[in-house]
Amino acid sequence: MLTLSKKQTKQKQKLPAVQTPFYLLNCSIIKQNAKAFVKTASKYFTNFDVFYSVKTNDITAVLDSVVKCGLGLEVASLRELKKALKFTKKIIFNGPCKKRVELKLALKHGVLINVDNFTELELIKRLSKQLSSHAEAGISVRLGIRYGVGKHGFDKTSFFDAVDKALQLGWLEALSFHPGTQLNMNKYRAALTAFFDVVSDLSINFKLIDVGGGFADKARMKTLNIKLDDYFIALCDLLKHYHINAKIIFEPGRYLVADAMQLITKVYYIKQNSGKLYAVCDAGINAVPKLSLAQIEIEKLNKQHKEKSNKKTNKKQNTKQRQVRYIITGPLLFSNDVLGIYNGNIEINDLLAIKNVGAYCYALAWQLSYKKPHIIVE
């Protein structure tokens, strides 16, 4: 990972002198997003806490930024747990395949474990007994039970049984749920309604209710014409409707980091095929995998400079140039290695900024034919 000096950051506005492709990370955006999330949530909730979903982007500078803003960390593996423990003890552990070694470490540090299945519950019971006979100060066992649909957590019928078992152990602290990702308001409301329907059937007052993530990134919110407030308003209404007074835990991922990272890629070739114009770049879906669901925007880094000079020389030609439609493609031998469309004027050696790639892109980036692009922290 490289860090740009102030001088380099200024130069970058013209042409970065660093080898492409690379991700450019801006931690001040993450801090702004984290503060905005907490500030907006405070308008609607008095008792809540926020845990950043580490899998969304686990770059050290990202974790450092969110923890500095007072957030905890939500992890899903030993690697993430070890990394998180370097920053904080405020951790939630999720995942359907938690191994003994992971559970032991989580138990030792009093991490809140969101349990996924009955075998895991039994394993936690056994491990905690073993650990308390060895640990000097004993261990603190915090348990959450995860309600799920599909492969995650306990389904509606087994959920009640799981809650019973966890209550008998005397550790049950939280109920948890995760509604999905990049959600519109209808999907968010529907998912949480299904969860609260089950929770209210239990008629137990829980200390914590973990409602997971699901908040769209800012670009998608703009497309959907919604604000962060809308998610909180929907949740508030549901909590009132179901008479739930627990402390609320949020696990946002993409909202906090999506717009904090861009991918800088260079145009190597421009070619015409079957009447279409292609700009071939040194990064494509290997660095911005479709699975990330990133809502990207493509911008030319030296655009303003070129358009200004064009204006002076030839107005007519400039208008024509701006209307050219380029298909932005990457370096892979895959025909779906297409990032998107750019309408404007592109030349060989131009640098393109692929914006909004802070969430799930670096984590999911492929090492196919090429290494993952390096990261530069502004």
Residues near ligand PLP (CB under 6 A) are: 53, 56, 74, 94, 178, 181, 212-215, 251-255
**Residues 219, 225: Cα–Cα separation, whole Å:** 10
**Residues 215, 56: Cα–Cα separation, whole Å:** 12
Element (H, E) at 124: helix 118-134
Q: Do 208 and 174 form a contact (C-beta atoms < 8 A)?
A: yes
**Residues 327, 293: Cα–Cα separation, whole Å:** 19
Instruction: Work out how close the CB of 105 gets to ligand PLP at its nearest, in angstroms, rounded to a whole number.
Output: 19
Instruction: Work out how close the CB of 169 gets to ligand PLP at its nearest, in angstroms, rounded to a whole number.
Output: 22
Q: Which is nearer to ligand PLP, 65 or 181 (CB)?
A: 181
Q: Which is nearer to ligand PLP, 255 or 342 (CB)?
A: 255
Q: Which is nearer to ligand PLP, 21 or 213 (CB)?
A: 213
Tell me the three state secondary structure of residue 20. Answer: coil
Q: Which is nearer to ligand PLP, 213 or 373 (CB)?
A: 213
Instruction: Work out how close the CB of 124 gets to ligand PLP at its nearest, in angstroms, rounded to a whole number.
Output: 18
Closest CA to 292 of 265, 328, 249, 263: 263
Q: Which is nearer to ligand PLP, 104 or 220 (CB)?
A: 220
DSSP 128-154: HHHHHHH-TT----EEEEEB-STTSSB
Write the CA distances from 149 to 44, 56, 80, 336, integer angstroms: 28, 21, 24, 31
Instruction: Work out how close the CB of 215 gets to ligand PLP at its nearest, in angstroms, rounded to a whole number.
Output: 5
Task: Using the Cα atoms of residue 340, residue 29, residue 221 and residue 177 in order, give the sign of their dihedral.
Answer: positive
Q: Which is nearer to ligand PLP, 183 or 239 (CB)?
A: 183
Query: Using only C-alpha atoms, what is the Rg of the chain?
Result: 24
Q: Which is nearer to ligand PLP, 101 or 291 (CB)?
A: 291
Instruction: Work out how close the CB of 117 gets to ligand PLP at its nearest, in angstroms, rounded to a whole number.
Output: 15
Instruction: Work out how close the CB of 293 gets to ligand PLP at its nearest, in angstroms, rounded to a whole number.
Output: 9
Q: Which is nearer to ligand PLP, 253 or 330 (CB)?
A: 253
Angle between helices 303-313 and 315-322 (to 10 degrees): 140
Respond yes or no on whether the N-terminal peptide bond of residue 289 is cis (omega within 30° of 0). Answer: no
Number of Cα atoms under 13 Å in the Cβ half of residue 75: 28
Number of Cα atoms under 13 Å in the Cβ half of residue 14: 5
Instruction: Work out how close the CB of 199 gets to ligand PLP at its nearest, in angstroms, rounded to a whole number.
Output: 17
